[in-house]
């Protein structure tokens, strides 16, 4: 497993981040812990969750953080894992933003309690609230960092305009500021705002330019588009009603299929390897239900893409 340091931090992380939005939901709690064991054994050390994860499923709330916390304590591996979580998600029912200082403090303390840790390594604001100044939000995060509750902070689903404003404010105040941005980004990416939740942001040319100019790390979610290309390869009918099933993405698939055969690697490995060719640190979040999917994703670390392939994928996917 390759590792790299997230710029402006002392967080040395694996080339892929294991996303745990559905741990204990799409697999059992025990299966989820076995998957975490396998990831750690393979050299992975970067895991991603959020305060809100699993809250859309009836029953236990904050299940993802709770299971991870139990695993960290049971295995005694807290010092070997870089834990990222997110707070500040809008209320799931009324959609009202939750980025007041009080709400942010409640979310952070809730995450610390569920994860059974004294400090979060990388803490994201899950969404933005453009009715609040970036100064107000960064001041709170800076306070969290100064009190030792978080090591570094980041944003998720922020526009490049707001990220630039936050970057400028942090620089003026002498803060470290956001060290990473988590956005929806895949070779099968939606352009602009994805359908459904309009508060989510996707990689686009303006966001890419921001990352290139500032060097801020990108840590994309939905990096494999839910396995869209692999599913299309084996059972096209299973994805015909998917939001990813577009003429453009079918064209991308045809290209990736040819590259896969030429390089003798899986399409999913090509999809992941593309992220490591960017002019800024890019660490894709992988969502694996079982060890077979995990093993395939981890093989991507050794996949090297020719320059013409990188350029073609970029042309096909970034607006």
* Catalytically active residues, by annotation: 53
Query: Across-strand partners of 218?
Result: 181, 282
Chain centroid to CA 167? 20
Q: How many Cα atoms sit within 13 Å of 252 on the Cβ side?
A: 28
Q: Extract the runs of DSSP E, i.e. beta strands, from 43-171.
A: 46-48, 82-87, 120-125, 150-156
Contact indicator for 200, 157 with CB cutoff of 8 Å: yes
User: Residue 220 in 3-state DSSP?
Assistant: coil
DSSP state of 194: P
CA atoms of 203 and 218, how far apart (whole Å): 9
Closest CA to 50 of 211, 262, 219, 232: 219
For residue 261 the two structure tokens come to 């055969």
User: Residue 314 in 3-state DSSP?
Assistant: helix
């Amino acid at each position: 497993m390759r590792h790299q340091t997230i710029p402006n931090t002392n967080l040395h992380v694996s080339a892929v981040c294991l996303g745990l939005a559905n741990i204990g939901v799409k697999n059992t709690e025990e299966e989820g812990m076995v998957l975490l064991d396998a990831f750690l054994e393979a050299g992975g050390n970067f895991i991603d969750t959020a305060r809100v994860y699993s809250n859309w499923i009836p029953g236990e709330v904050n299940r993802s953080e709770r299971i991870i916390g139990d695993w960290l304590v049971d295995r005694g591996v807290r010092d070997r894992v870089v834990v990222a979580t997110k707070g500040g998600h809008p209320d799931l029912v009324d959609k009202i933003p939750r980025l007041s200082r009080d709400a942010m403090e409640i979310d952070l303390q809730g995450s610390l309690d569920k994860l059974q840790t004294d400090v979060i390594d990388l803490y994201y604001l899950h969404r933005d609230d453009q009715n609040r100044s970036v100064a107000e939000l960064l001041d709170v995060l800076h306070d969290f960092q100064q009190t030792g509750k978080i090591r570094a902070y980041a944003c998720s689903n922020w526009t490049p305009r707001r990220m630039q404003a936050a970057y400028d404010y942090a620089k003026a105040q002498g803060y470290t500021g956001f060290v990473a941005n988590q956005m929806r980004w895949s070779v099968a990416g939606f352009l602009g705002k994805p359908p459904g939740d309009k508060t989510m942001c996707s990689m686009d040319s303006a966001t890419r330019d921001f990352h290139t100019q500032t060097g801020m790390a990108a840590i994309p979610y939905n990096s494999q588009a839910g396995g869209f290309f692999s599913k299309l390869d084996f059972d096209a009918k299973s994805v015909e009603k998917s939001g990813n099933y577009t003429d453009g993405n079918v064209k991308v698939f045809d290209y990736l299929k040819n590259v896969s055969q030429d390089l003798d690697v899986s399409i999913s490995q090509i999809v992941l390897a593309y992220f490591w060719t960017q002019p800024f640190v890019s660490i894709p979040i992988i969502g694996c239900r079982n060890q077979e999917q995990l093993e395939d994703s981890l093989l991507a670390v050794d996949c090297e893409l020719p320059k013409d392939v990188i350029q073609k994928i970029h042309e096909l996917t970034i607006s």
